[in-house]
């Protein structure tokens, strides 16, 4: 294996993590974009089943030009892939903005708090705290589910590490991690009436930003956002709506039946079914949904999950016109994470 | 038992009232408990608690009961043992992601909380992670110790103090959720040298 070639090898001494701006919690580019009022873009990276770092860089290639941060998933769907920490180490060396995803399913409080320090030292500015899907839906259903934390106690613990400079054990940190804390929300699944209350609890626990699960039912999302605004939560947390292109009606049906927490209305599946080119229609649908969620007050950005369709992310962003508007409105260059 | 625990959630308001009176009795018994010795009481009380709460709530004896903050639906029955609300995988109709035949413990919890006096406010409080070393021990006795020692100056255990500070609101209502009071030897599985 030839050594990894990156445009600018990351050296934690020569290139320390970006310093937080005044009033900011991290040096994260995502946080800067959000606090400037820009419509932020994050994108999920499809983690390789490989030990070759080039596979990670290849997967990041179509995302890095358009995303303020790339999400490194932590065995999502309880399927084993390269770890989120491994992906972060490669992407941070290449100078990209990253969201480290931490699921409570696989590691206990000792492992997680240690990983957070390691990640922050590598220059990871954003951490997404997740409960995690049950082990039963993954490729190794016999694994032991850990769930030492839940997403809320994890958020509060990381907030304690950052703001109080302590582990949960009370031991002091000589340098606390400067991290922008994220959490997920799934507005389109039951119990709908309590999803906004759950979001409020995540904000109390310490969430600075939210990435939602897939929004295919814009009406339901709009109702959720109405509640969110009524509670004033859109002023306390940045909400990024989760979107993604569907490949076909068949994929949509499969996802709906097999992936926990995905709600796809029949109207969407019908639209894909009727389309002459379902993949093209799936992309168009994604762009339509981006257009619709952008109109909703309180939505601060989009989170694109294009599983096995990463090549489309550039086109989706391009055609949705987010970056063009950002340039026009601010007269400033896009703060690309690859810069 | 599933049917009984769902009955308890449907009658959460009554259970809440009963529990409040019961808690007052337990706390008032602290001087007697102290005379007998918490260490000596631990085993029989934990056994009784397991039988009673096991029947009523399918209690898993986490030792840090927060039922009054979870709509009288025991969060340890969640396959992910979530203490702060449902996950993102709840199925249509409010069923569990992991056990599709079971109602989501947290859908029930919110339902129960909406009928309670204080429950609806208390369910919004962020609960700390459970201290696994306290599994199997009596939460009733822990509540009595916490309330009785609340005003006395106990030398703080730094680890416990940090969790107690980080989850201050939870402790205001359920001090046993992040306990600070001293533990009798029999109540904890953590070896003394590790404390």
Interface predicted TM-score (ipTM) of this complex, two decimals: 0.91
Of B80, B129, B162, the CB nearest to A166: B162
Q: How many domains, in total, are found in chain A?
A: 1
Distance from CA of A184 to the nearest CA of B (A): 8
A149 in any annotated domain: yes
What gap in Å lies between CA A120 and CA A115, rounded to an integer? 9
- List pLDDT tens digits, range A177-229: 999 999 999 999 999 999 999 999 999 999 999 999 999 999 999 999 999 99
A1 in any annotated domain: no
The greatest distance separating any two alpha carbons of chain A, rounded to the nearest whole angstrom, comes to: 61
Q: What is the pLDDT of residue A316?
A: 95
Give the lowest-confidence range in A15-29, A284-298, B56-70, B166-180: A15-29
Domain boundaries, chain B: 2-194
What gap in Å lies between CA A148 and CA B96, rounded to an integer? 19
How many Å from the N-terminal Cα to the C-terminal Cα in chain A? 27
**Contact residues, chain A, for B195 at CB < 8 Å:** none
- List pLDDT tens digits, range B129-142: 999 999 999 999 99
H or E element, residue A39 = none
Two tokens, residue A323? 């970056």
Distance from CA of B14 to the nearest CA of A (A): 23
A305 in any annotated domain: yes
The residue of chain A nearest to residue B79, with distances taken between CA atoms, is A134
Considering chain B, what percentage of its residues have pLDDT values greater than 90? Answer: 76
* Side-chain half-sphere CA neighbours of B89 within 13 A: 25
CA A175 distance to own-chain centroid? 25
Two tokens, residue B22? 């019961």
A66 in any annotated domain: yes
* Side-chain half-sphere CA neighbours of A117 within 13 A: 15
- Sequence-separated (6 or more) residues with CB below 8 Å from residue A163: A176
Residue A266 belongs to a domain with what CATH number?
3.20.20.220
A16 in any annotated domain: no
The whole domain housing A318 covers: 29-330
**Is B124 an 8 Å CB contact of chain A?**
yes
- List pLDDT tens digits, range A297-319: 999 999 999 988 889 999 999 99
A11 in any annotated domain: no
What gap in Å lies between CA A210 and CA A265, rounded to an integer? 23
Pairwise CB contact (< 8 Å): B84 & A152: yes
Q: Which of A177, A3, A167 is nearest to A100 (CA)?
A: A177
The pLDDT of residue A127 is above 50: yes
Distance from CA of B17 to the nearest CA of A (A): 24
Q: What is the DSSP letter of B1?
A: -
Interface of B with A in 7-46 (CB under 8 A): none
């Amino acid at each position: 294996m030839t050594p990894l070639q990156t445009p600018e090898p990351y050296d934690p001494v020569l290139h320390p993590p970006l310093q937080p701006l005044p009033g900011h919690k991290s040096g994260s580019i995502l946080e800067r974009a959000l606090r400037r009022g820009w419509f932020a873009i994050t994108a999920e990276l499809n983690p390789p089943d490989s030990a070759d770092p080039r596979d990670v860089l290849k997967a990041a290639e179509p995302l890095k030009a358009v995303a303020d941060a790339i999400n490194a998933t932590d065995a999502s769907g309880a399927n084993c892939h390269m770890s989120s920490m491994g992906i972060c180490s490669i992407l941070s060396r290449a100078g990209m903005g990253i969201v480290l995803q931490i699921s409570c399913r696989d590691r206990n409080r000792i492992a997680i708090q240690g990983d957070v320090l390691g990640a922050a030292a590598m220059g990871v500015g954003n951490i997404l705290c997740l409960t995690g899907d049950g082990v039963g839906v993954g490729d190794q259903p016999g694994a032991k589910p850990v769930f030492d934390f839940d997403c809320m106690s994890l958020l509060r613990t990381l907030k304690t590490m950052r703001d109080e400079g302590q582990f949960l054990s009370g031991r002091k940190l000589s340098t606390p991690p400067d991290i922008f804390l994220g959490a997920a929300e799934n507005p389109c699944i039951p119990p709908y009436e309590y999803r906004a209350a759950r979001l409020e609890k995540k904000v109390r626990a310490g969430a600075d930003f939210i990435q939602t699960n897939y929004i295919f039912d814009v009406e339901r999302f709009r109702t959720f956002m109405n509640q969110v605004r009524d509670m004033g939560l859109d002023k306390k947390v940045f909400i990024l709506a989760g979107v993604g292109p569907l490949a076909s009606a068949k994929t949509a049906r499969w996802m709906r039946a097999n992936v926990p927490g995905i709600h796809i209305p029949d109207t969407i599946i019908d639209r894909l079914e009727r389309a002459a080119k379902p993949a093209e229609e799936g992309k168009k649908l994604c762009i339509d949904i981006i257009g619709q969620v952008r109109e909703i007050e309180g939505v601060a950005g989009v989170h694109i999950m294009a599983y096995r369709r990463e090549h489309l992310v550039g086109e989706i962003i391009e055609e949705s016109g987010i970056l063009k508007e950002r340039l026009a409105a601010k007269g400033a260059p896009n703060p690309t994470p690859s810069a | 038992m599933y049917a009984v625990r769902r009955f308890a959630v449907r009658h959460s308001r009554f259970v809440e009232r009963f529990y409040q009176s019961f808690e007052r009795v337990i706390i008032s018994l602290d001087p007697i408990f102290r005379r007998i010795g918490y260490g000596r009481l631990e085993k029989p009380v934990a056994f009784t608690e397991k039988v009673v709460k096991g029947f009523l709530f399918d209690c898993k004896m986490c030792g840090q009961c927060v039922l009054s903050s979870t709509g009288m639906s025991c969060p340890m029955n969640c396959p992910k043992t979530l203490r702060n609300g449902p996950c993102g995988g709840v199925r249509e109709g409010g069923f569990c992601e992991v056990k599709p035949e079971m109602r989501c413990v947290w859908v029930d919890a919110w339902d129960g909380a909406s009928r309670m006096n204080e429950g609806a406010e208390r369910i919004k409080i962020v609960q700390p992670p459970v201290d696994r070393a306290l599994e199997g021990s009596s939460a009733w006795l822990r509540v009595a110790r916490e309330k009785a020692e609340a005003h006395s100056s106990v030398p703080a255990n730094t680890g416990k103090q940090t969790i107690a500070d980080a989850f201050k609101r939870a402790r205001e209502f359920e001090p046993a959720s992040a306990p600070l009071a001293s533990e009798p030897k029999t109540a904890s599985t953590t070896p003394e040298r590790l404390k």
